A and B are shown apart, each in its own frame.
Chain A
Amino acid sequence: MKGSVWLHAALGLNPDLPIRAQWSRLLFHAPPTQSGARDWSEWFALSFPHIDFHRFGLLDVPRFLIQLLWLSLVIPPQNRHPSLPLQTIRIINQFHRRSWRWLLATQKRLEPLFQPITRELESAGAHNILGYPLLRYSAYLLSGTLAFIVITTPFDLGAQLLYVALLWGLATWLRRIPGDVITLIMIVLSLTISCRYFWWRMTTTLDWSSGMDITAGLLLLFAELYAFLILLLGYFQVAWPLHRKPQKIPVDLSLWPTVDVYIPTYNEPLPVVKPTIMAAMGMDWPRDRLNIYLLDDGRREEFRSLAESLGIGYIIRNDNRHAKAGNLNNALSLTQGEYIAIFDCDHRPTRSFLQTTMGLFLENPKLALVQTPHYFFSPDPFEHNLGTFQRVPNEGELFYGIVQDGNDLWNAAFFCGSCAIMRRGPLQEIGGIATETVTEDAHTSLRLHRLGFDSAYIRFPQAAGLATENLAGHIGQRIRWARGMAQIFRIDNPFLGPGLSWAQRLCYGNAMLHFFSGLPRLIYLTIPLAFLVFNAYSIYASALGILLYALPHIIHTNLTNSRIQGHHRYSFWAEVYETVLAWYIARPAFVALVAPHKGRFNVTSKGGLIDRNYFDWDISRPYLWLIGLNLLGLTFGIYRLIWGNQEEIATVWLNLAWVFYNLLVLGVALGVAGEIRQVRKSHRVKIDLEASISLPDGRFFSCRTLDCSEGGIALSVTKSLQLAPGDHISVNLPLGLQEHSFPARVIIHHPTILKLQWAAMPLAQEKTLMQCIFSRADAWLHWGGLEKNDQLVANLREIFALGIQGYQRLLHSAVPYAGRQPRRRWLGRLNYWLPHNPSWWTEGSTP
């Protein structure tokens, strides 16, 4: 008895445990948790998770032994002491978390102190005292002088370090405080740092003595100055978004004006156009004052008969001159409505579109245009091929979420070709839609503004459309925009000519200059080679100097943009979007600038499908070249690291980091070029509505809609129904205050999900169905509301992962057998022999 107690004590065992638990403790170092809860055989099975003891084979003997050895050697994670680096990271993390908590708490405590200050600041701008020109201009002069001093005073590196650290601390603190004034302060901080960088950059880092250096230096400086100009204009544009609210329209229906709705089409298939017409017919507007016209430049018989059977207007013309603009102008001369609403043939308006926009017109007689966002309910090639749909804001979201809203403050919101409504009078005054350029929309609104008319922008989507379905189409569309904007810049430059306010000039100027980003982006993607390969100093300074001047400039720009653009553009994604387009828009933009009348209108194709996975080699050729160049740089850089001049090691590292970042972004571009199969004919729209299904026997079940399209619907039901594929049932969907019933056929019936296909129905019922899907006033209001905030580090991680994935996809397409399958098989074979962690390790805590 006593002996056993001694033995237990010597072995460090608890005598109260059952024998098998003691044994396992001796064998496996770690006691199985919750001792006694399981019997011995269960523990055994859990300790050998990869071995099936019921079918124990010969090969399992060595596997058993390997696992036994593993179990006796390895300490389970919860008993392990963390390694030193891991501990350090943990401590740093803890410190970081604690300091953040402290910072936030302090901020919260100081908030009541700050609120009156920000309120004062906000009202100070409107103070009478600023009405005195002398006072105002002396204030400008004073702040200008101060800014000049701050920007130009030379610091040594230590002082510069202190300075940027202080400003960075201030910015990281401020960015958590809400309010537009704080945004302005962040902008001022960012501009100060950036100006200081450019002053330093232009005065001390250009080496005029060497031809190579100065060429590379000026090239990079050009790209940087371009980016700075766009940043400056961008800050100006978005500093104070207007968030305009719709105005109420009169109660008296007789005061509501007549509206013509134009749906221009050229070669789009009928299934794309039909829902648009039907949704447009569902707009809540007195029927006798709403006329819908299908403007068919394709002159197709099926479209004519559809228009006839739906009872809408059908307008064609003899030629296709000036493409969409000509088409619209032709219709303009044939109809009489006081207002013209224009929808691309895939943009399905909600029923509230006219009621939300018309109030503004009735309030302001000078208003000529109300634009609403373009929302796309299908993924664009980025979202589709990278798998970021409704997870990362897409390319257009920055423009419609922030930029147009910022433009609106300066009365410079411009026409985007669709989802807009215009007053006929002003439009006829400028001679209809502009036909001189391929971006007739922006040019039209520019002309309206020149004549002193107003424009407005309402920030919530009142229509939804289809995004371009592949990268080639997307790039084609952007080339057209770039060419068109460059054309306007050349023939009707917003900085010149009469009629515009200076703010409008800046807003339009930024919109156009934005499309010249191709060349600067290409410079960024290649300039590290100048140093790595040719040893040319594009920035003639020490690596430490570059870090202390350039890095704060980049960080502050990102911090400020992240605050302003927040939900609408995640950090680093601008680089991805620009990189994909850089090569393609660089040339057309400059060609159009030189010869504005070259080039034709190309129609953006939509609603198609991609029937197999493929890698678009044609589109990705420029990326491959750029990758090749960067890889060359990488090789040279590694060579120089090992055998190069030791004094330049820091600079080499810096340039290598740059090359690495370039490679990552290019990898993401490759990922976009790897087109993924897309076979669904109609895109599903996520809808969460209460609905019901009724069976032929009169029973009704309540359900919720999951998604819905022209083809079918998916419902979530709480109970498994006795239905088989092919059964006919009815789905009852709400539409505002009404409820409608639609016949459908069961496709798949999971226990809780019911997938149905619409059965054939008469045209009138189909129209109601389309209105149920697309016409709800709140259908797209979730837009711009991605719940996740912009997180710098998380985004960088995502870009990293997507970049790697892009290279994997390239490898897979280039060498068909180098893909994942064989490697996985090999890993699987290895995995067969390797020991496995027993299941109880991961089961949770020690007792």
Chain B
Amino acid sequence: MRKSDLELLEPINMRPVTAKDIEHLYHQWTRELDGYREIQVYEAAAQSNWPLMSGAWNQPFPLPPRVSTSNDANRSNSGLTVVGSHGGIDPTSVTAHLTAGFHQEGWPLLAVDLCPTNTLRLYLGMDKADTAGLATQWLSGEPWYEAIYRGARGWDFLPFGEAGPAIDRFAASLVERPGWLAEDISRLDVPDNFRVICNCPRHPYSLFEEGIRLAQTILVVLEPDPLSLTAIPSLLSDLLRLGVDERQILFVLNGFLPSRQLDRDVRNNLQTSRLQSRLSPIPVHQDEFIREALATQKTLFDYCPHSQAVHDFTLLRIWLKARMNPVQQPDNPESRSA
């Protein structure tokens, strides 16, 4: 495992989450009164007249046939996979900030980047010239875990690597032996409450499938545009086919701007849909600070701790913690020794 040779940074400047925050959030989520109905949201959703957004995405659909895999038992890995609702959405910034946040909270974790764009490393402090990663390591026949990189803040992550045209060979290995990465990771010698946070692409399918296998909870990143809504059914059917528990599919709206009518309407539509109970009550705002922080190669929490994005990611983290299953203890001690 290589270590970054950056000098020791100051402790991360992150707004601590207080009990009051959580209480406030719950207050907001459960509404103030028992049985209270937010009629206005329903009416606003009904009034919003965007033909592309109305339609089948909100309807339950027949369960697709499940693909049984050899390593279903390995799904005990209680990690989190972050995936965009369709090809055009890059979930990397959400993954990166959740990684930083959960790490700050003291979770032992490994962030895995399966996106061939290989950008998670830039958020997490790797040198932009360094092209090593999972794919390159695998292609050169070295053990993949040697590509794990420890960021300046102490978080561990596995970059994808710049594989070039050889990426197809890597993908093919996953088609050949689905789930090998998940299996390998479960053999690592790690603490009990270890988690994987996976940055998962929507395409190619083999990488998508591998990413979904890595974790129990799936966080779908939506954007407040009609394409996200229309992409939901196909994504859901893919996820269910892979055997994901529907209750473990969570949604978050990324890039929200309250001043835009369409953004508000998409949010209303989601909040009144059948996905309502699994939608994060806090959207991540389209905050310029996210881009600026990346450009300055600092984490957002360092770059501007007062920004709304920091606040959003913090609350998203609390919500995820509440929604994710508690860590399951591994049954047989053998699986812990790699």
Contacts of B307 in A (CB 8 A): 699-702
For the complex, what is the distance from the CA of A356 to the CA of B285, rounded to whole Å?
33
Candidates A246, A690, A732, A778; contact of B258 at CB < 8 Å: A732
For the complex, what is the distance from the CA of A355 to the CA of B31, rounded to whole Å?
13
Q: What's the nearest-Cβ distance from chain B to residue A780, in Å? A: 11
**In the assembled complex, B289 has its CB within 8 A of some CB on chain A:** yes
Q: Is the pair A740, B33 in contact by a Cβ cutoff of 8 Å? A: no
Given contacts A737-B281, A740-B258, A741-B259, contact A700 B308 (CB under 8 A): yes
**In the assembled complex, A284 has its CB within 8 A of some CB on chain B:** yes
**In the assembled complex, B245 has its CB within 8 A of some CB on chain A:** no
Q: Is the pair B41, A287 in contact by a Cβ cutoff of 8 Å? A: no
**In the assembled complex, A722 has its CB within 8 A of some CB on chain B:** no
**In the assembled complex, A282 has its CB within 8 A of some CB on chain B:** yes
- Closest-by-CB residue of B relative to A743 is B259
**In the assembled complex, B54 has its CB within 8 A of some CB on chain A:** no
Q: Is the pair B37, A700 in contact by a Cβ cutoff of 8 Å? A: no
Contacts of B267 in A (CB 8 A): 737-739
Q: Is the pair B35, A248 in contact by a Cβ cutoff of 8 Å? A: yes
Given contacts A717-B306, A719-B306, contact A700 B288 (CB under 8 A): yes
**In the assembled complex, B32 has its CB within 8 A of some CB on chain A:** yes
Given contacts A740-B264, A777-B31, contact A702 B37 (CB under 8 A): no
**In the assembled complex, B183 has its CB within 8 A of some CB on chain A:** no
Q: What's the nearest-Cβ distance from chain B to residue A228, in Å? A: 41
Considering the complex, which residues of chain A in the window 570-584 have a beta carbon less than 8 Å from any beta carbon of chain B?
none
Given contacts A285-B39, A699-B287, A777-B33, contact A739 B311 (CB under 8 A): no
Contacts of A702 in B (CB 8 A): 306-308, 310-311
Q: Is the pair B259, A736 in contact by a Cβ cutoff of 8 Å? A: no
Q: Is the pair B32, A738 in contact by a Cβ cutoff of 8 Å? A: no
Considering the complex, which residues of chain B in the window 29-50 have a beta carbon less than 8 Å from any beta carbon of chain A?
31-41, 43-44
Q: Is the pair A777, B32 in contact by a Cβ cutoff of 8 Å? A: yes
- Closest-by-CB residue of B relative to A245 is B34
Q: What's the nearest-Cβ distance from chain B to residue A785, in Å? A: 14
Contacts of B100 in A (CB 8 A): none
- Closest-by-CB residue of A relative to B291 is A698
Contacts of B305 in A (CB 8 A): 718-719
Contacts of B285 in A (CB 8 A): 692, 694, 700, 732
- Closest-by-CB residue of A relative to B46 is A287
- Closest-by-CB residue of A relative to B306 is A719
Given contacts A692-B285, A732-B258, contact A738 B306 (CB under 8 A): no
Query: 1/0 per position for B280-311, CB-CB distance to A under 8 A?
Result: 01010111110010000000000011111111
Q: Is the pair A356, B33 in contact by a Cβ cutoff of 8 Å? A: yes
Q: Is the pair A718, B32 in contact by a Cβ cutoff of 8 Å? A: no
Candidates B24, B32, B288, B310; contact of A781 at CB < 8 Å: B32
Contacts of A718 in B (CB 8 A): 15, 305-306
- Size class of the B contact interface (CB-based, 8 Å): 35 or more
Candidates B38, B43, B292, B308; contact of A737 at CB < 8 Å: B38
Given contacts A699-B307, A718-B306, A739-B258, contact A352 B264 (CB under 8 A): no
**In the assembled complex, A787 has its CB within 8 A of some CB on chain B:** no
Considering the complex, which residues of chain A in the window 777-823 have a beta carbon less than 8 Å from any beta carbon of chain B?
777-778, 781
Contacts of A778 in B (CB 8 A): 27, 32
Q: Is the pair A734, B28 in contact by a Cβ cutoff of 8 Å? A: yes
Contacts of A777 in B (CB 8 A): 31-33, 36
Q: What's the nearest-Cβ distance from chain B to residue A113, in Å? A: 35
Q: What's the nearest-Cβ distance from chain B to residue A722, in Å? A: 12
Q: Is the pair A699, B311 in contact by a Cβ cutoff of 8 Å? A: no
Given contacts A287-B43, A700-B289, A781-B32, contact A694 B310 (CB under 8 A): no
Q: What's the nearest-Cβ distance from chain A to residue B257, in Å? A: 8
Contacts of B37 in A (CB 8 A): 249, 284, 355
For the complex, what is the distance from the CA of A202 to the CA of B328, rounded to whole Å?
80
**In the assembled complex, A302 has its CB within 8 A of some CB on chain B:** no
For the complex, what is the distance from the CA of A285 to the CA of B42, rounded to whole Å?
10
For the complex, what is the distance from the CA of A284 to the CA of B271, rounded to whole Å?
16
Q: Is the pair B36, A700 in contact by a Cβ cutoff of 8 Å? A: no
Contacts of B95 in A (CB 8 A): none
- Closest-by-CB residue of B relative to A691 is B308
**In the assembled complex, A563 has its CB within 8 A of some CB on chain B:** no
Contacts of B283 in A (CB 8 A): 739
Given contacts A732-B258, A777-B32, contact A739 B41 (CB under 8 A): no
Considering the complex, which residues of chain A in the window 721-751 have a beta carbon less than 8 Å from any beta carbon of chain B?
730, 732, 734, 736-741
Contacts of B33 in A (CB 8 A): 246, 352, 355-356, 777
For the complex, what is the distance from the CA of A246 to the CA of B310, rounded to whole Å?
38
Q: Is the pair B39, A694 in contact by a Cβ cutoff of 8 Å? A: no
Contacts of A284 in B (CB 8 A): 36-40
For the complex, what is the distance from the CA of A284 to the CA of B37, rounded to whole Å?
7
Q: Is the pair A692, B308 in contact by a Cβ cutoff of 8 Å? A: yes
For the complex, what is the distance from the CA of A702 to the CA of B301, rounded to whole Å?
13
**In the assembled complex, A697 has its CB within 8 A of some CB on chain B:** yes
Contacts of A692 in B (CB 8 A): 285, 308, 311
Contacts of A697 in B (CB 8 A): 288
Query: 1/0 per position for A650-684, CB-CB distance to B under 8 A?
Result: 00000000000000000000000000000000000
- Closest-by-CB residue of B relative to A697 is B288
Contacts of A286 in B (CB 8 A): 39, 43
> What are some 30 contacts across the A-B interface (CB < 8 A)?
A248-B34, A249-B35, A249-B37, A286-B43, A352-B33, A352-B36, A355-B36, A690-B24, A690-B311, A694-B257, A694-B285, A694-B308, A698-B288, A699-B287, A699-B288, A699-B304, A700-B287, A701-B306, A702-B306, A719-B306, A732-B259, A734-B28, A736-B41, A737-B271, A738-B267, A739-B283, A740-B264, A741-B258, A777-B36, A778-B32
Enumerate chain B interface residues (CB-CB to A < 8 A): 15, 24, 27-28, 31-41, 43-44, 256-259, 264, 267-268, 271, 281, 283, 285-289, 292, 304-311
> 9 closest Cβ contacts across the A-B interface?
A700-B308, A698-B288, A702-B311, A741-B259, A700-B287, A719-B306, A248-B35, A778-B32, A692-B308
Enumerate chain A interface residues (CB-CB to B < 8 A): 246, 248-249, 253, 282, 284-287, 351-352, 355-356, 690, 692, 694, 697-702, 717-719, 730, 732, 734, 736-741, 777-778, 781
